[in-house]
């Protein structure tokens, strides 16, 4: 079996340099993905600003996170909180602060009505409220 195109020294060097350049650039792609993943969620400040006393909310959030270790990621928490709001993430992003406050309050009421509650240091909290406290803890 004959090769239609023999590999010349020039084509070998071009191929080698191309592969070397690709392998050199790959870590930068990974770093870009990781830095985007580590970037704070833009909704976090808006959601945590709903607390009159963010420091107290952060203390409650730390206690909640000790029992809900699967929810220690900021982006995951924002997604879970927004899931309970009308319009989801897009609805939360487009809401005014007052509307966002009302939506969270309604989500808390639904949590209590449907039994979606958690016990945190003797307190019984709506799951949405506990997750917002966890966001405050992660942010502080």
Q: What is the mean pLDDT of each run of 10 residues along the chain (140 residues)?
A: 63 71 60 55 91 94 94 92 90 90 95 96 95 93
Eight-class DSSP state of 70: G
Write phi, then psi, for 68 (nearest 5 degrees): -125, 65
What is the reported pLDDT for 14?
75
What is the reported pLDDT for 113?
97
What is the reported pLDDT for 37?
54
Write phi, then psi, for 55 (nearest 5 degrees): -65, -40
Structural domain boundaries of the chain? 44-139
Q: Is 126 left (phi over 0), alpha (psi -120 to 50) or beta?
A: beta
């Amino acid at each position: 079996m004959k090769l239609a195109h023999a590999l010349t020294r020039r084509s070998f060097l071009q191929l080698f340099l191309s592969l070397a350049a690709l392998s050199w650039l790959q870590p930068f792609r990974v770093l870009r993905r990781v830095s985007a993943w580590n970037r704070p969620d833009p909704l976090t400040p808006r959601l945590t600003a709903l607390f009159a006393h963010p420091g107290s909310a952060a203390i409650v959030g730390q206690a909640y996170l000790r029992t809900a270790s699967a929810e220690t990621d900021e982006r995951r928490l924002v997604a879970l909180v927004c899931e309970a709001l009308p319009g989801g993430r897009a609805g939360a992003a487009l809401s005014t602060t007052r509307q966002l406050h009302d939506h969270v309050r309604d989500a808390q009421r639904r949590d209590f009505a449907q039994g979606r509650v958690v016990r945190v240091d003797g307190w019984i909290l709506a799951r949405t409220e506990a997750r917002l406290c966890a966001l405050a803890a992660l942010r502080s």
